[in-house]
Amino acid sequence: MSKIKPSKGAPYARILGVGGYRPTRVVPNEVILEKIDSSDEWIRSRSGIETRHWAGPEETVAAMSVEASGKALADAGIDASQIGAVVVSTVSHFSQTPAIATEIADRLGTDKAAAFDISAGCAGFGYGLTLAKGMVVEGSAEYVLVIGVERLSDLTDLEDRATAFLFGDGAGAVVVGPSQEPAIGPTIWGSEGDKAETIKQTIPWDRFRIGDVSELPLDSEGNVKFPAITQEGQAVFRWAVFEMAKVAQQALDAAGISPDDLDVFIPHQANVRIIDSMVKTLKLPDHVTVARDIRTTGNTSAASIPLAMERLLATGDAKSGDTALVIGFGAGLVYAATVVTLP
């Protein structure tokens, strides 16, 4: 018989507060068109994006995270010293070690909270939320801060017509804590590594150690290009539309609800056409509020779901206690979907 004492966690977990930060600089499509052969109408029709936010020098991954987290803590009524763990999902923190989560935990004033980063692309928020739920229920942390943050402008090839218009910067955060009733459903998550080439970084970091620029791509002015995110647009679109609608339905089934029971749908903000196709495939009723934050925020990867959640609640398009389906999907290819009660 085991001598280990059972955990003393909460019966369930819930999102207690949400916060977001969007950089001050708003970038319209006209700026993107300075380096690619396209049009504002084409960008809007293909993606739905009208503007995006790009971070300035002082709006670092850590700085944006601290701003978003402060709002989430205030929304939850929780002091930073009560946070037991900080989970940060990002692909745009360029120091391999230490994890940016440790700096964020310190700057917020946590009491030596566990802190670590995860790399799960656009599904990262869902991965972090699932880990947080487990910690709260297991008892290793009473309150967990989950952050999705990106400076994707640093990983954008402005001469790549297929992706130059897609990406934005920002941070979104939620506080996860104890609940007496189910408020975060089972997570349907997974990966399809055989499709990893459809979304990837153009150049591995170690290529810069070779020292032969002839082996590296150059921009129109002859300068070595910095690594950027590239994707096979049509392949990603088909996968997201057909496969992710199935995953979303599985999340609804796992939570024991139907589309009619939903109040809000918050998918990863990748493309308005993908969002609209998923709404149609899932046969969501007209009463369901659908997040389309991508129009003014762009694709912010791991930050997109909490940013969209924060905006819906701030504008009154969603309200506390609403039942929401959230799903993230992207590079890997990875995905995560669950049903939550909004804070």
Q: Of residues 29, 53, 93, 268, which has the active-site annotation?
A: 268
Are 167 and 158 contacting, i.e. CB atoms less than 8 angstroms apart?
no
Q: Is 287 one of the catalytic residues?
A: no
Told to judge if 53 belongs to the known catalytic residues of this protein, a careful annotator would answer no
Question: What tokens were used for 234?
Answer: 């049509």
3-state SS string for the chain: CCCCCCCCCCCEEEEEEEEEECCCEEEEHHHHCCCCCCCHHHHHHHHCCCEEEECCCCCCHHHHHHHHHHHHHHHHCCCHHHEEEEEEECCCCCCCCCCHHHHHHHHHCCCCCEEEEECCHHHHHHHHHHHHHHHHHHCCCCEEEEEEEEEHHHHCCCCCCCCCCCECEEEEEEEEEEECCCCECCCEEEECHHHHHHEEECCCHHHHHCCCHHHCCECCCCCECCCCEEECHHHHHHHHHHHHHHHHHHHHHHHCCCHHHCCEEEECCCCHHHHHHHHHHHCCCCCCEECCCHHHHCECHHHHHHHHHHHHHHHCCCCCCCEEEEEEEECCCEEEEEEEECC
Of 122, 223, 271, 287, catalytic: 122
158: left (phi over 0), alpha (psi -120 to 50) or beta: alpha
For this structure, is 268 an active site residue?
A: yes
Catalytic positions: 122, 268, 299
